[in-house]
Amino acid sequence: MEAVKIIKVNNLSTIFGENIVHKDISFSVNEGEIFGVLGGSGSGKSVLVKQIVMLDKIQKGNIELLGKDVSNVNLKDIQDLKQQFSYLFQFGALYSFLNVIENISVMLKEYTDLPSDLIEKIAYTNLEIVGLPKSCALLYPSQLSGGMVKRVALARSLAMQPKVLFLDEPTSGLDPSSTQKINELLLYLKSMLNITIIVITHDLETIKTVLDRFIILKQKIIFDGNITEALNSNDEFIRDFLTNKGK
């Protein structure tokens, strides 16, 4: 049986002035996979993800997210879609004046009518899912390490039970051991929650150990496949790219 496509990008082109960022790109993301968006600096990874989550305008071509054409949505479609995905913009930005459990509860308070004791329960469950002890619950962001901040941000996104999670550089700024823990967490989330995760990353460890499949952008899509296929590619640029820390 063919996998369900959660995202379909068809013949997308993006040009800013003289700068051709995407040149007729097409790809799809299957349900349940961890999918990577790779490419050098300025190759249009962030713009692409922002176009998928409706934050940037689609200039040419179209994108389907969860069966809806996001270049042609009304307010109700946007509201429906927004309930089904989370986009961690600047992964790890927390409200400094709220403690951990309040940060995790923010979206639930804003977007649901759940009673506050249930919201607190859900928040504590998500704290546990991302591997943080209960003793963190009342700490403020300034009292947390970089890796802990990222976990709390992830817990906040998971609280809304998204079908699709978009992460922009989830391990940036972390030391190797915290990076490894976030990578393990992503694999754990995939197996436990069966969500589809789209990750922008430069991290070679993440690329090698976490991603099921990825694309490499360089105006066009110069690669679409898995790590084994990429390392066996005849294209020297692709092999170099992967041995040069994804830059």
95 binds ligand ATP (CB under 6 A): no
Kindly tell me which of 16 and 111 has the beta carbon lying closer to ligand ATP: 16
Q: How far is the CB of 26 from ligand ATP (least distance, A)?
A: 18
Which residue from 11, 19, 116, 194 is in contact with ligand ATP, where contact means CB under 6 A?
19
Euclidean distance between CA atoms 46 and 63, whole angstroms:
15
Which residue from 11, 16, 79, 138 is in contact with ligand ATP, where contact means CB under 6 A?
16
**Neighbouring C-alpha atoms within 13 Å toward the C-beta of 46:** 10
Q: How far is the CB of 239 from ligand ATP (least distance, A)?
A: 20
**Number of amino acids touching ligand ATP (CB under 6 A):** 11
Site for ligand ATP in 25-64 (CB under 6 A): 39, 41-47
Kindly tell me which of 99 and 201 has the beta carbon lying closer to ligand ATP: 201
22 binds ligand ATP (CB under 6 A): no
- Residues in touch with ligand ATP (CB under 6 A): 16, 19, 21, 39, 41-47
